[in-house]
Structure 1
Amino acid sequence: MKFILKSISFIFHPVIMPLLGVIFYFSKSPRYLPMEIIQAKVVSLFILTILLPILLYFLLKSLGRTSTIYLKSTNERILPLILNAIIILLVVYRVLPNDEIIELYYFFIGILISTLSCLVLAILKFKASIHMMAVSGVFMFFLALSIHFSININGSLAIMAVLMGAIATSRLHLKAHTYPELIIGFFTGLIPQLFLVNYWL
């Protein structure tokens, strides 16, 4: 059981969640976009939101600034969160500007707000769950897309709800977080996406 729960935390690491939201958007959006543009966006986002953070993690680990990919202490979180915020800014300004795909633009603005909120909490020595922040933000984005495009994605929402429960259980079982840290992480991811719905829904 411990292996399964640990695997859940590893497989559904926060670093994959932004790209998951983008792929879901392209798979469900009724708007026509040339396949070449979709592929270019996905590849660019894979490099910036997954490959680059992994490379930066190994750099920080070699410098002794981090010990594991789970960033167990608040001090370990500060520099990675700053770097992640810079990466998200790069995505917003270079890959997904607001005059191209407005839904994804505000999705990443929400991610940026959540990341900065988590950074502030880390500076204040509070370790909000980044796993819950990431998955709850994507869940809210999925829900908003279902309303925006008037599509039935109840199955996807149910899977995401189960996934949130599994991730929360995993983090608790591994003693990585307390209940308050999971709850704050959940709302840190969900509230920015909910607030920004007003700008594109």
Structure 2
Amino acid sequence: MDKILKSISFVFHPLIMPVLGVIFYFSKSPRFIPHEIIQAKLISLFILTIILPILLYFLLRTLGKVESIYMPTAQERILPLALNCIVVIVILQRILTPNQIIELYYFFLGILISSMTCLMLAVFKFKASIHMMGISGVFMFFIALSIHFSININGTLALMSVITGAIATSRLHANAHTYMELILGLFVGALPQLLLVNYWL
């Protein structure tokens, strides 16, 4: 059980959440989108949201700016979160502009707001759970898409509920966060997605 709980934090790492949301969107959207465009978007996002952050992490670790991938202190999170905000801004300006795929534009705008909020909290020495921020943001986006496209994804939403609970349990088991930090991360991830729904739903 110990190994399973620890592995959950890696399997459902916050880095994969943006791409997971995009894949889900393309799989459920009734709109016709050329396969070449989907492929180009996914490759670009995979590089910018997964590969680049991993490379930046190793660079920061080499420079002594972070000690581990868990970034246990609020101070360690400031620079990685700031770099993540810059990456998301580049995505919004170059890859997912509002005149192309509006749902994904606002999804990533919500991610930017969540990341900036988490950054500000870190500056003031508050540590919100980035794992919970990631899963709750994607969860809220899935709910909005189900309403927007009038599709029944109750099974997916039930699975997301289980995954959210599993991630929270995993973080508590690892003594990585307190209950308050998990709840804070949940709201930081979900609220921007919920508020931005008014602009595209």
TM-score of Structure 1 vs Structure 2, range by shorter chain: over 0.9
- Taking the aligned partners of 2:10 and 2:25, their CA distance within structure 1 comes to 23
Asked whether 1:117 is paired with 2:155, we answer no
In the comparison of the two structures, how many residue pairs are matched?
201
Asked whether 1:134 is paired with 2:134, we answer yes
Considering only aligned residues, what root-mean-square deviation do their CA atoms show, in Å?
0.5
| Aligned amino acid, residue 188 of structure 1 | V
Corresponding residue number in structure 1 for 2:157 = 157
- Taking the aligned partners of 2:3 and 2:194, their CA distance within structure 1 comes to 34
Corresponding residue number in structure 2 for 1:177 = 177
Deviation at 1:192, TM superposition (A): 0.1
- Taking the aligned partners of 1:80 and 1:105, their CA distance within structure 2 comes to 22
Deviation at 1:69, TM superposition (A): 1.4
| Aligned amino acid, residue 67 of structure 1 | E
| Aligned amino acid, residue 9 of structure 1 | S
TM-score (norm 1): 0.99
Q: Secondary structure at the match of 2:65?
A: coil
| Aligned amino acid, residue 181 of structure 2 | E
Q: Secondary structure at the match of 2:99?
A: coil
Deviation at 1:11, TM superposition (A): 1.1
| Aligned amino acid, residue 108 of structure 1 | F
Corresponding residue number in structure 2 for 1:193 = 193
Corresponding residue number in structure 2 for 1:68 = 68
Asked whether 1:27 is paired with 2:27, we answer yes
1:59-118, Cα deviation, whole Å (9 max, x unpaired)? 001111111212111011000000000000000000000000000000000000000000
Corresponding residue number in structure 2 for 1:98 = 98
Asked whether 1:86 is paired with 2:76, we answer no
- Taking the aligned partners of 1:2 and 1:71, their CA distance within structure 2 comes to 21
TM-score (norm 2): 0.99
**Structure 2 portions without partners, runs of 5+:** none
1:161-186, Cα deviation, whole Å (9 max, x unpaired)? 10000000000010000000000000
- Shift >4 Å, 4+ stretches: none
